[in-house]
Chains A and B, each alone.
Chain A
Amino acid sequence: MADTINLTTTTTSSTLEPVFSFLAQALTTLETTFYKLPGSAVIQRYVKSSHQNDPGRTILELILVVFAIRTLLQSRTRADRTGSHFIQFNKKEIDELVDEWAPEPLGAPLTPSEQYDLHALPIVAGQNGVKPKLVSTGKTAVNLASLNFAGLAGNEYIKERAVETLRKYGLGSCGPPGFYGTLDVHMDLERDIADFLGTEASILYSQGFSTVSSVIPAFCKRGDIIVADRGVNFAIQKGIQISRSTVRWYDHNDLESLEAVLQSIEKDRKKRRGPLTRRFIITEGIFERDGAMVDLPKIIELKYKYKYRLLLDESYSFGAVGRTGRGLTEIYNVPASKVDMLIGSCAIGLCAGGGFCAGSNIVVDHQRINGPSFVFSAAMPALLAVSASEGINIFRSTPSIFETLQENVRAARAILDKVEYLTIPSHPASPLIHIQIKPAYSPAASTSNALSSPSSSSSVGTPAPLSPPPSTAGSLHPVSAAMLTPTKHTRDHHEKLLLHPEVIEAEERLLQEIVDECLSQNVMVTKAKRLRGQENVEARPGLKLAISAGLTRKEIEKAVGVVKAVCVKVLGRRK
Chain B
Amino acid sequence: MALTKPSTPSIFKKKSTTSLSPMASAASYLSALSQADARAREQMNGSPTSTPALSISSSVTSSSEDTVLHEEDDNRDGLALPARPPTSEQVFTTVHTEFGHCANEKFRMTSQHTRGEPVPGHVDQDPPYYILLSTYISYLILIVLGHIRDFLGKRFRASSYHHLMPRDGYAPLNSDFDSFYTRRLKTRMDECFSQPVTGVAGRTIVLLDRMSPDYNHTQLFTGTRTRALNISSYNYLGFAQARGGCADAVEESIKRYGVSTCGSRLEGGSSDLHTISEALVAKFVGMEDALISSMGFATNSTFIPALVGKGCLVISDELNHASIRFGVRISGASVRMFKHNDMKALESLLREVISQGQPKTHRPWKKILVIVEGLYSMEGTLVNLPAIIELKKKYKFYLFVDEAHSVGAMGPHGRGVADYFGINPRKIDVLMGTFTKSFGAAGGYIAGSKTLIDRLRVHGHSGPYAEAMTPPVLIQVVASMASIMGVKPPQPHASSGGLRLTHAPPPVEEEYHHPGPAPHSALPLWLALPQELSLGTEGATRLRRLAFNSRYLHNGLIKLGFITYGHPASPIVPLLLFNPGKMCMFHRMMKDRQTPIIVVVVAYPATPLVTSRVRFCVSAAHTKEDIDTILQACDEVGDVLDLKHGIPRSERWTIDEISSRAVELAGMMK
Interface residues of A (CB under 8 A from B): 1-2, 50, 57, 61, 64, 68, 72, 76-77, 79-81, 83, 85-87, 89, 93-94, 97-98, 101-104, 106-110, 114-115, 117-118, 121-129, 135, 143, 145-148, 153-155, 158-159, 162-163, 166-175, 177-185, 187, 206-210, 213, 219, 221, 224, 233-235, 238, 241-242, 276-279, 288, 307, 309, 345, 347-348, 351-353, 362-363, 366, 368-369, 372-373, 375-378, 380-381, 383-384, 387, 524, 526, 528-531, 534, 544, 546
**Interfacial chain A residues near B307, Cβ < 8 Å:** 106-107
- Cβ of B452 and Cβ of A106 under 8 Å apart? yes
**Interfacial chain A residues near B429, Cβ < 8 Å:** 106
Bound state CA distance, A126 and B275, in angstroms?
12
- Cβ of B258 and Cβ of A373 under 8 Å apart? no
- Cβ of A163 and Cβ of B254 under 8 Å apart? yes
Q: Distance (Å) between the CB of B131 and the closest chain A CB?
A: 12
CB-contact partner of B171 in A86, A279, A378, under 8 A = A279
**Interfacial chain A residues near B272, Cβ < 8 Å:** 123-126, 135
Bound state CA distance, A377 and B434, in angstroms?
10
- Cβ of B169 and Cβ of A276 under 8 Å apart? yes
CB-contact partner of B254 in A117, A145, A166, under 8 A = A166
**Interfacial chain B residues near A167, Cβ < 8 Å:** 242-243, 247, 251
Residue of A nearest to B440 (CB): A172
Bound state CA distance, A556 and B275, in angstroms?
29
**Ranked 7 nearest A-B pairs via Cβ:** A145-B268, A209-B466, A529-B464, A207-B295, A347-B467, A377-B297, A146-B262
- Cβ of A363 and Cβ of B260 under 8 Å apart? no
- Cβ of B270 and Cβ of A122 under 8 Å apart? yes
CB-contact partner of B339 in A77, A109, A127, A345, under 8 A = A77
**Interfacial chain A residues near B473, Cβ < 8 Å:** 171-172, 381
**Interfacial chain A residues near B194, Cβ < 8 Å:** 177-178, 182, 368
Q: Distance (Å) between the CB of A139 and the closest chain B CB?
A: 15
- Cβ of B440 and Cβ of A170 under 8 Å apart? yes
**Interfacial chain A residues near B359, Cβ < 8 Å:** 83, 85
User: Chain B 239-278 against A: per-residue CB contact (8 Å), 1 yes, 0 no?
Assistant: 1111100110011001111111111111111111011000
**Interfacial chain B residues near A182, Cβ < 8 Å:** 194-197
Q: Distance (Å) between the CB of A34 and the closest chain B CB?
A: 13
**Interfacial chain B residues near A81, Cβ < 8 Å:** 352
- Cβ of B170 and Cβ of A180 under 8 Å apart? no
Q: Is B541 an interface residue (CB 8 A)?
A: no
Bound state CA distance, A363 and B430, in angstroms?
37
Given contacts A102-B396, A377-B297, contact A209 B465 (CB under 8 A): yes
Residue of A nearest to B324 (CB): A376
Stretch at the interface among B45-53, B362-370, B558-566, B645-653: B362-370
Bound state CA distance, A349 and B251, in angstroms?
23
- Cβ of A242 and Cβ of B330 under 8 Å apart? yes
**Interfacial chain B residues near A115, Cβ < 8 Å:** 454
Q: Distance (Å) between the CB of A383 and the closest chain B CB?
A: 6
Q: Is B395 an interface residue (CB 8 A)?
A: yes
- Cβ of B254 and Cβ of A159 under 8 Å apart? yes
- Cβ of A376 and Cβ of B297 under 8 Å apart? yes
Q: Distance (Å) between the CB of A39 and the closest chain B CB?
A: 14
Residue of B nearest to A86 (CB): B356
Given contacts A174-B234, A182-B194, contact A169 B259 (CB under 8 A): no
Q: Is B520 an interface residue (CB 8 A)?
A: no
Bound state CA distance, A515 and B389, in angstroms?
46
**Interfacial chain B residues near A98, Cβ < 8 Å:** 350-351, 354-355, 394-395
- Count: A-B pairs, CB below 8 Å: 397
Bound state CA distance, A124 and B268, in angstroms?
8
Q: Distance (Å) between the CB of B425 and the closest chain A CB?
A: 16
Q: Distance (Å) between the CB of A185 and the closest chain B CB?
A: 8
- Cβ of B196 and Cβ of A531 under 8 Å apart? no
**Interfacial chain B residues near A124, Cβ < 8 Å:** 261, 270-272
**Interfacial chain A residues near B198, Cβ < 8 Å:** 168-169, 183-185
Bound state CA distance, A179 and B617, in angstroms?
11
Bound state CA distance, A50 and B260, in angstroms?
61
Stretch at the interface among B34-42, B79-87, B315-323, B499-507: B315-323
Residue of A nearest to B205 (CB): A180
Contacts of B554-576 to chain A: CB distance below 8 A: none
- Cβ of B266 and Cβ of A121 under 8 Å apart? yes
**Interfacial chain B residues near A528, Cβ < 8 Å:** 267
Contacts of B307-355 to chain A: CB distance below 8 A: 307, 318, 321-323, 326, 329-330, 336-339, 345, 348-352, 354-355
**Interfacial chain A residues near B581, Cβ < 8 Å:** none
**Interfacial chain B residues near A208, Cβ < 8 Å:** 466-467
Return 23 A-B CB contacts under 8 Å, by A number.
A68-B143, A85-B356, A87-B355, A104-B367, A107-B307, A107-B448, A108-B455, A121-B266, A128-B261, A171-B246, A171-B472, A179-B232, A184-B198, A210-B297, A219-B173, A345-B467, A352-B470, A353-B294, A353-B467, A363-B173, A376-B323, A526-B268, A529-B264
Residue of B nearest to A363 (CB): B173
- Cβ of A352 and Cβ of B455 under 8 Å apart? no
Bound state CA distance, A288 and B476, in angstroms?
31
- Cβ of A184 and Cβ of B240 under 8 Å apart? no
- Cβ of A147 and Cβ of B171 under 8 Å apart? no
Bound state CA distance, A179 and B452, in angstroms?
35
Q: Is B640 an interface residue (CB 8 A)?
A: no
Bound state CA distance, A234 and B305, in angstroms?
13
- Cβ of A128 and Cβ of B269 under 8 Å apart? yes
